[in-house]
Amino acid sequence: MQQRIAGARRPPLAPGFPRLGARHAVLVGVALLCSVVLPVIPIFVGVFLVLGVGLHVGLPELRPYLDTLLRVPVGRPAARRTRLVVEASAGVLLILIGLASATIRGQLRSEWRQDEEQRAHVEEQVSGLLARARSQLSSGAVGAAELTLLEADAIVGIDPESRAQVDDLLESVRRSGVAR
């Protein structure tokens, strides 16, 4: 049985595959957080990475500048190609995450807008019914006012303040006993 010496380095997971460091984990976390808050940032960074890799491959005269920027290792061609593929893949993944987040945000915004429009419509409808019931009460048509208030009471999705107004007015009409 083989024992490890305290403080000895662990061997890499597999030859040629570096471990995901804390810096990379922080960058992935920031990218995911940015995709939720502001999806244009991961899209921009992804396009930047893909464009950088494309320029690195297509324009050899820019390679010295892009090597530093993309942190491409000097030396072994296999390591350079692997790093470029990883950078391009990360760029594409960031673009996809940003686009998915933007789509989800758009759908949520649309749903919120529809809910707000529906609430405004319901409030407008209830306000009209309350005004009509008050008008009917002032003209002495208590039975018609009670029917109007029952119609307003049947509406689903009224805010609590309007619901209280409808209930109070309906209760006062019912207490008057004139409608029956």
Say if residues 56 and 18 touch (Cβ distance below 8 Å). no
38 band by pLDDT with thresholds 50, 70 and 90: confident
First-to-last C-alpha distance (Å) of the chain: 96
Q: Which residues have CB under 8 Å from 50's CB, separation 6+?
A: 88, 91, 92, 95
How confident is the model at residue 109, as a pLDDT? Answer: 92
How confident is the model at residue 128, as a pLDDT? Answer: 92
How confident is the model at residue 6, as a pLDDT? Answer: 56
Domain ranges of the chain: 23-176
Mean pLDDT of 157-175: 86
Mean pLDDT of 32-39: 77
Q: What is the pLDDT of residues 6-30, one digit of tens each?
A: 555 555 545 555 555 676 677 777 7
Higher pLDDT, residue 128 or 2:
128
How confident is the model at residue 63, as a pLDDT? Answer: 81
Q: What is the pLDDT of residues 74-93, one digit of tens each?
A: 778 888 888 888 888 888 98
The full 3-state SS of 55-77, as one line of letters, equals: HHHHCHHHHHHHHHHHCCCCCCH
Higher pLDDT, residue 21 or 116:
116
How confident is the model at residue 180, as a pLDDT? Answer: 46
Mean pLDDT of 49-53: 90
Amino acid at 74: V
4 band by pLDDT with thresholds 50, 70 and 90: low
CA 28/CA 45 separation, integer angstroms: 12
121 band by pLDDT with thresholds 50, 70 and 90: very high
User: Does residue 179 register a pLDDT over 60?
Assistant: no
